Every structure is written in structure tokens, then in C-alpha cells.
Amino acid sequence: MVASTYFAIDLGATSGRTILASYDGQKIAMKELTRFENPMIPIGGHLYWDLPGLYNEVLIGLKKAAEEGVLIESIGIDTWGCDFAFFGTDGQLLGLPHCYRDQHTDGAQEKFFEKMPASEVYERTGIQFMNFNSLFQLDTLKRNASSALQAADKILFIPDALIYMLTGKAICEYTVASTSQMLNPVTGDLDPEILKTLGIPRERFGVMTQPGTVVGTLTAQVQEATGLGAVPVVAVAGHDTASAVAAVPAEDKEYAYLSCGTWSLMGIESEDPIITKDSFRENFTNEGGVEGTTRFLKNICGLWLFEQSRKEFKDVPESVGELVALCEESTYAGLINPDAPCFAAPASMTAAIREYCLSTGQAVPETPADYCRCIFRSLANRYREIVDILQGMCDFPIRKLHVIGGGSQNKYLMQYAADALSMPVVCGPVEGTALGNVLMQMKASGVVETLGQMRKISAASVELVTYTPEINNK
């Protein structure tokens, strides 16, 4: 077959990139066209995203794609979840979107629970409670009389906002909407009682759209700006974790997955939502997947601990690989709870770790090697705790852990995880999110039909690395 080419836009909470991917009938090869930063913008005491800047970076990537001189089958966008943008009746962006790390939602859950009990919110949505969930962001903005919200004709999640800017079509993609704590996984749409309690009508949100749907084509203006034609834009799994999980090269369902990056998202795939007293007590979440699956998972702290600590290290190797190898120089035995509130956004991450260790009666890390070992072993220990809880809630044995994302390249963390879990840890694809993005575009174009076919292509496209437990590893 003649190779087909796809354009993927993959935006994370710290950086973004555009990718050109080609499929030759057996495997996918990806070429990064552009990479750019996605910083939080501090303005007036709040944190925002520079959505126009991200849109401009998308246009730059599309221009480069046009210069490649190949026929692009389609375009897909995935991003982080929860955040959203406002647009007026004339289609104009109304201000910058708030960043989920903005502290304006501190205490927001408790204020909303005065109107609807937490148990009812969870029963309707099955979503893990976090201050920055879209529900609490919107309620906070409404209580604070946000001028942008008051004037908004459309409320669009970040991937949907970019699709709107590219095509003029307003949608509400299912997987990213599922992170909002406003979607009912049983009905498959935004919950009317939650919207009523929130005081925002359903029509302000886009049309609910399943991943793998062609939304529209690039507008004439975008075509002129980029040099491309009327290329179709596909609603892929718009939430980056949903895209990544779609690319997990699993052969059966007896596994847990870990999307390992700044955040660690750990869970299983389920045919149905798991909304029980146990899942409510443990604060697990039910997010939308592809082909009607549910991603039953826990959103836990990830390499954020390492990324923030690294900024404070002095006289250490610049490369991440050499830096993480410092683990070999330490025998530090202390452990922290990566999900403790003190690690969410501290002024100094190393100081927060020291204070935690002191408060729990442990020795304090002294060197960068100690911090690295403490962080990675603590994350591995947390993974074991979560898998143990998952095993008690699912109806199949968990026999291995599939790790996707950049963190899968950290061989020390991966070996610690295999040891802590006492099961194989299969690593790859590293670029799982972009790969899942492309696979969903292929599904939209009819090249593949099922999730099983997608996963076989994923396995053929990457080289997997497996870590097995080392009994004597301490």
C-alpha cells in the first residue's frame, strides 16, 4: 500500500509539539516537526494558558507540514484535561483560559458540596475529586462573577477550542469532557442536574462527539496561512491520557497501565464504569476511553517531584539519564507519600521533602542522589498501593503493568516499580500519546476498524522494554 500521512498535535501542561506520522501498512513512523514550551502565564494574581500562542505554534507546525510536500490525510489534537476557554457570539476568544494550577479553586469543592453532596456528584460522574476539575473551576468563576463566563456563548475544552479555531466547528469531545466531573458516564452526556446546580445551560457546550469523528476541514483563513488545503480535522481521543491508553500494546485485558510523566495516571480498562462505595472512598475516577471503554484510574503525583527538585540541585549532570543514575550512589531508605498535599505546589520541593521526612520520623535526604532515590522508590511504592486497590475492584487478575510516556525511559524507576509490584513492567511506547492520536485518525479514515488492530500496529511500531522483579533489589 502507499504510505498514508497524518498530522498530530500533542500538547502537554509544560510543552507541546507537532508531529508528522506515516503508516506503511504495518507500522507507524513519526517525525517531530516542532517543539515548543507551554508556560503558565501569571497575570493579576492568577495563572493562565497562552491559548493564542499555542494556536500560533499549531499554525507554524502546519506550515512546516505543508513544506514537506506530502498529502496529509487528517489532523488530530490531544491535550491535558479539565481546562477550557470561553468564546463570544462572534467567535472571538474571551480572555485567556485559567490554568488548573491556579489557586483560585482552593476550597472550591466544599463550596459546591453545599449545593450538591459529594456522594451525589460522584454517583452522577464517577470522577475523582480534585480542586481543579472543570466543575469546580466553573463554579468558582461563576461565584466570582467572571466577566468572560458571563459573556461566553461557547465553553470549549482545550482540544475542542483549538479545533474550533481551526475549523469553526464547536464540539465537546467525549474523553476530554469526561475529565470535567460534569459528564455522566451512563448517559454519555453532560449531566443535567449538575449543570442545573452549576447554573450553566447545556447549549453553551459543544455537541458531544466520540473519538474518531471527522469534525470538519481547515477554514479558508487557516488554509491561506499555512499553505495547506481543506485538510480534515479529526476529534481523536482529545484527552492525552485517553490517546496514550489507546496505544497500549496489550495482548489481553489482564494488565494495569501507567501513563508516566509529570503526572502518573494509573488504572485499568473496563467495559463499564465502576462507581461504588469503595471507588468513592478511594477517590478513583471513571474517564472516557475509545470504543466505549472506561479508563478506571487514579490520578497520582508523578515526575513532578523530580522535575521540581532537579531545578534546585547544584553541581549535578545536566542530562536526565546521568542525573537519575545518581540513584546508584545512594542507599537512602526514606519514603514519602507523593500525593501528600505539601508536594502539590511548594515554593521549594526539596524543602517540602525534607520537612515531610522530619515530620514522619525519617532521616533527611542529604544529596541529589538521596533525593532521586527517595522520589523514585516512593513513586514505585505508591504504584504498588494503587495496583493493590485496583485488584480489589476489578474482575480479572492484573498480571503486568504497561507503562507509556516519557517516564518509561527511567530505568531506575521502572526497575523499582517491577520490584515493588512483583510483576513484569512492560515499557513503551514512549510517544504513546502521539501514537494514539495518529491511530484514532487512522480509524476515522477507515484504515483500521478496532482497538485490537490499533494495538497490534502500536506493538509493531515501537521497541518494548520489559523489567522483571529483582528479589534482592532494595
270 and 209 in one domain? no
Instruction: Tell me which of 392, 411, 427 is where a domain ends.
Output: 427
In the structure, what pLDDT confidence band is assigned to residue 473 with cuts at 50, 70 and 90?
low
- Inter-residue long-range contacts of 279-285, CB under 8 Å, 24+ positions, other chains counted: 279/126, 279/393, 280/119, 280/122, 280/123, 282/389, 283/128, 283/129, 284/128, 284/389, 284/393, 285/126, 285/127, 285/128
Instruction: Tell me which of 212, 241, 270 is where a domain ends.
Output: 241
Say what the pLDDT of residue 472 is: 57
Evaluate whether residue 177 is within a structural domain.
yes
List the CATH number of the domain containing 117.
Answer: 3.30.420.40
CB 130 within 8 A of CB 124: no
The one-letter amino acid code at 216 reads G
The model's pLDDT over 154-163, given as tens digits with 9 standing for 90+, comes to 999 999 999 9
Residue 27 has pLDDT above 90, yes or no: yes
Say what the pLDDT of residue 217 is: 98
The one-letter amino acid code at 428 reads G
Catalytic residues: 240
Say what the pLDDT of residue 261 is: 87
φ, ψ for residue 434 (rounded to 5)?
Answer: -65, -40
| Distance separating alpha carbons of residues 449 and 472, to the nearest angstrom | 45
What domain range is 368 assigned to? 250-427
263 and 175 in one domain? no
| Distance separating alpha carbons of residues 217 and 294, to the nearest angstrom | 29
C-alpha 278, offset from chain centre: 24
Cβ-Cβ contacts under 8 Å for 274 (sequence gap 6 or more)? 126, 284, 286, 294, 296, 393, 394
Number of domains, the chain = 2
β-pair type (171-173, 40-43): unpaired
| Distance separating alpha carbons of residues 73 and 464, to the nearest angstrom | 28
Evaluate whether residue 364 is within a structural domain.
yes
In the structure, what pLDDT confidence band is assigned to residue 1 with cuts at 50, 70 and 90?
low
CB 338 within 8 A of CB 382: yes
The model's pLDDT over 401-413, given as tens digits with 9 standing for 90+, comes to 999 988 999 999 9
Cβ atoms < 10 Å from Cβ of 291 = 15
Evaluate whether residue 440 is within a structural domain.
no
Q: What is the number of residues in the chain?
A: 474
409 and 310 in one domain? yes
The model's pLDDT over 237-265, given as tens digits with 9 standing for 90+, comes to 999 999 999 999 999 999 999 999 888 99
The model's pLDDT over 423-459, given as tens digits with 9 standing for 90+, comes to 999 999 999 999 999 999 999 999 999 999 999 999 9
- Supply the DSSP string of 31-58, one letter for each residue: EEEEEEE--EEEETTEEEE-HHHHHHHH
The model's pLDDT over 41-58, given as tens digits with 9 standing for 90+, comes to 999 999 999 999 999 999
285 and 141 in one domain? no
SS3 100: coil
320 and 204 in one domain? no
CA distances from 82 to 78, 157, 269, 353 (A): 13, 7, 21, 28
Say what the pLDDT of residue 54 is: 98
Evaluate whether residue 401 is within a structural domain.
yes
- Supply the DSSP string of 417-429, one letter for each residue: HHHHHTS-EEE--
How high does pLDDT run on average in the chain?
A: 95
181 and 153 in one domain? yes
- Write down the residue that cell numbers 462527539 correspond to: 209
CB 439 within 8 A of CB 246: yes
The model's pLDDT over 218-239, given as tens digits with 9 standing for 90+, comes to 999 999 999 999 999 999 999 9
Give me the half-sphere count of Cα atoms (radius 13 Å) on the Cβ side of residue 235. Answer: 27
| Distance separating alpha carbons of residues 136 and 182, to the nearest angstrom | 10
334 and 274 in one domain? yes
Evaluate whether residue 147 is within a structural domain.
yes
Cell numbers at 345, concatenated = 505546589
**Crossing angle (nearest 10°) for helices 349-359 and 368-393:** 70
Residue 474 has pLDDT above 60, yes or no: no
Question: 6: closest CA among 239, 247, 158, 234?
Answer: 234
290 and 421 in one domain? yes
The model's pLDDT over 62-95, given as tens digits with 9 standing for 90+, comes to 999 999 999 999 999 999 999 999 999 999 999 9
Evaluate whether residue 465 is within a structural domain.
no
Evaluate whether residue 266 is within a structural domain.
yes
Q: Is the dihedral of CA 100, 125, 233, 10 positive or negative?
A: positive
| Mean pLDDT along residues 98-127 | 96
Say what the pLDDT of residue 295 is: 95
Residue 13 has pLDDT above 90, yes or no: no
The one-letter amino acid code at 162 reads L
233 and 258 in one domain? no
The one-letter amino acid code at 283 reads N
**What's the N-to-C CA distance of the chain in angstroms?**
51
373 and 231 in one domain? no
Evaluate whether residue 445 is within a structural domain.
no
Say what the pLDDT of residue 332 is: 97
Instruction: Tell me which of 209, 241, 273 is where a domain ends.
Output: 241
The model's pLDDT over 346-370, given as tens digits with 9 standing for 90+, comes to 999 999 999 999 999 999 999 999 9
225 and 257 in one domain? no
144 and 87 in one domain? yes
